[in-house]
Structure 1
Amino acid sequence: MLWSAASDLTSIWSGNLQRAITSYGADSVLSFNEPDGCCWSCGNSCMNVSSAVSAYKQWVQPLAGKVKLGAPAVTNGVGEGVGISYMSYFMGNCTGCQVDFIPIHWYGSVLDPGSFEAYVQSFYTKFNKPIWITEFGTTSGTDAQIVAFLKQALPWLDSQSYVQRYAYFMDSNTGAPYLLNPNNTMNDIGVEYNSG
């Protein structure tokens, strides 16, 4: 992933990418982490659409035909200029860009798995491209509620032909809502995700 177009990242991008392709068989690249958010401690790259388009054309588009290219991974923010709105602007303005898949992020309530499903479907309906959910997780809920959410969400994700990849966020050993206990064994959430 090219997290952003910051010079300390772009200066090592080509070398790191070539090494990933040659040494590890990488066949896809991700561009820009949550450019629609501007919370540095949250990991957002905070890029307006025109900056993201320009950087994509300079650093990602030249890789077309060598690896699969992923659009920026947006948040599930709701409103003008975030989430699917940001992606619409990006896709509409990145003329001549090859985008092979759409990476998305989602964090929400375990009590409403239907909103997760609707969110994922909305991106496929809008862009008609394979979906990679590179981060999804919960913002609340007990261990049992998170496990119940995963029991519904994972089979649904697996049944969607357009969902090519998904990853629960994250495998930290700090307990719920993550996948590991402090002693690095899987908690109930981790066991359910691993078996899903």
Structure 2
Amino acid sequence: MAYDLASPTDLSALSSGVSWWYNWSPSPNAAVPTDYATRYGMVFYPMLWNGSFNAADIVTYLKANPTIQYMLVLNEPNLVSQSNMTPQQAAQLWPQYEAIAAQTGVKIVGPAITWGTMTNYEDPVAWLDAFYAAYEAANSNRAPQIDYLAFHWYDYGLDAQLDRLTKYGKPFWVTEFANWHSQNDGAQIDTLAKQEAQMTDMVATCESRTDVFRYAWFTGRVSPDPHFSSLLGATGVLTDLGTLYLSLPMQ
């Protein structure tokens, strides 16, 4: 799941059906018990949200936690309210991610692409095409190290969106998803039952595709919650949606 888990009781409540989480930062919340992996059977994956990180500290952390095999990078670069990074800027940054991976053996998961708000790069394919071109031009035609491509989606049609990205030949992590369709067109998600149906469908899509390696529902707890997407209510208590999420089949 995509959420800054902090409460041991939240972790315990989720542990029967959630195998991993991330919180958009390089380390777990300080309130998470240090033995979380053995206590809850859940893995934390760090994220380098943009270029603001100390590479030496990240390498030290990853070497001290060798069970962490994946590193998420670059959150929604074509959203100006998120990491807000042009393809050319991301191409300049990417070798820093690759250097950390080379020193630690972790796999690179990202960029976490979506439909965005950046002029000329609203379409994730347009952003990725330009990113590949800029990186290859600066690196003797070598393609960037992308071990897994991340994607975020909040509407109908997840399967078709992933199909558009198969051209890059990468397995996927769907690192944020829910259905927040809000247009007043009869298809808006405005009841728990509608979100439950969408969760069931979207999880089935992820589970049925051989190119989806990991996925993470967004979110744990949010208020207000007009689309009924919170997995947690009171501390340590699952919502009805959370109970459904834990019950859905997973491989």
Please report the TM-score for the alignment, with normalisation by the length of structure 2: 0.66
How far does residue 173 in structure 1 lie from its aligned partner after superposition? Answer: 5.6
Matches within 5 A, 1:98-137: 98-108=145-155, 112=156, 115-123=157-165, 125-137=166-178
| Partner AA of 1:153 in structure 2 | M
Q: Which moved more, 1:162-171 or 1:186-195?
A: 186-195
Residue by residue, what CA displacement relative to the aligned partner does 1:83-111 show, whole Å, maximum 9, x if unpaired? 22212221232222211110111112xxx
Give the whole-Å Cα distance in 2 for the aligned partners of 1:107 and 1:130: 20
Query: 1:147 & 1:21 partners in 2: Cα distance?
Result: 40
Long gaps (5+) in structure 1: none
- CA–CA distance in 2 between the matches of 1:17 and 1:166? 25
| Counterpart contact for 2:55–2:100, Cα < 8 Å | no
CA contact (8 A) 1:35 1:72 kept: yes
The 2-side partners of 1:76 and 1:184 are apart by 33
Q: Which stretch of structure 1 is more off in the superposition, 95-104 or 79-88?
A: 79-88
Q: How many residues align?
A: 181
Q: Which residue of 2 aligns with 1:16?
A: 58
Question: Are the counterparts in 1 of residues 230 and 242 from structure 2 also a CA contact under 8 Å?
Answer: yes
Give the match's secondary structure for 1:33: coil
Secondary structure of the structure 2 residue equivalent to 1:93: helix
Partner of 1:72: 111
Structure 1 residue corresponding to 2:67, chosen from 20, 25, 38: 25
Q: Distance in 1 between matches of 2:65 and 2:101?
A: 19
2:233 aligned with 1:194: no
Q: Give structure 2 stretches of 5+ with no counterpart.
A: 1-46, 137-141, 182-188
Report the secondary structure of 1:70's partner residue.
strand
Identity of aligned residues (%): 26
Residue 198 of structure 2 corresponds to residue 149 of structure 1: yes
Residue 130 of structure 1 deviates from its aligned partner by 0.6
| CA-CA distance at 1:189 after TM superposition | 1.3
The structure that is helix-richer by fraction is: 1
Q: Provide the C-alpha distance between the structure 2 equivalents of 1:178 and 1:17, rounded to a whole number of angstroms.
A: 33
Contact kept, 8 Å, 2:75 with 2:112, in 1: the verdict is: yes
Q: AA paired with 1:143?
A: L
- Find the residue that maps to 1:85 and give its secondary structure: helix
For residue 24 of structure 1, report the CA deviation from its aligned partner.
Answer: 5.1
Residues in 1 aligned to 2:78 and 2:176: alpha-carbon distance in whole angstroms: 15
Moved over 6 A (4+): none
| Rounded Cα–Cα distance in structure 1 between residues aligned with 2:75 and 2:215 | 15
Are residues 116 and 51 of structure 1, via their aligned partners in 2, closer, same or farther at CA, if it must alter by over 3 Å?
same
Larger radius of gyration: 2
What is the deviation of 1:192?
1.4
Separation in 2 of the partners of 1:89 and 1:195?
Answer: 40
How far the C-alpha of 1:177 sits from its partner, in A, is: 2.0
- The AA in structure 2 aligned to 1:63 is I
Matched, 1:47 2:71: no
The C-alpha deviation readout for 1:108-133, integer Å capped at 9, x for no partner, is: 2xxx3xx111112221x221111001
- The separation in 2 between residues aligned to 1:103 and 1:21, in whole angstroms, is 24
What amino acid maps onto 1:71 in structure 2? G
Instruction: Tell me which residue corresponds to 2:29.
Output: none
Structure 2: distance between partners of 1:156 and 1:143: 20
Deviation at 1:19, TM superposition (A): 1.2
TM-score calculated relative to the size of structure 1: 0.83
Instruction: Write the letter of the residue equivalent to 1:179.
Output: L
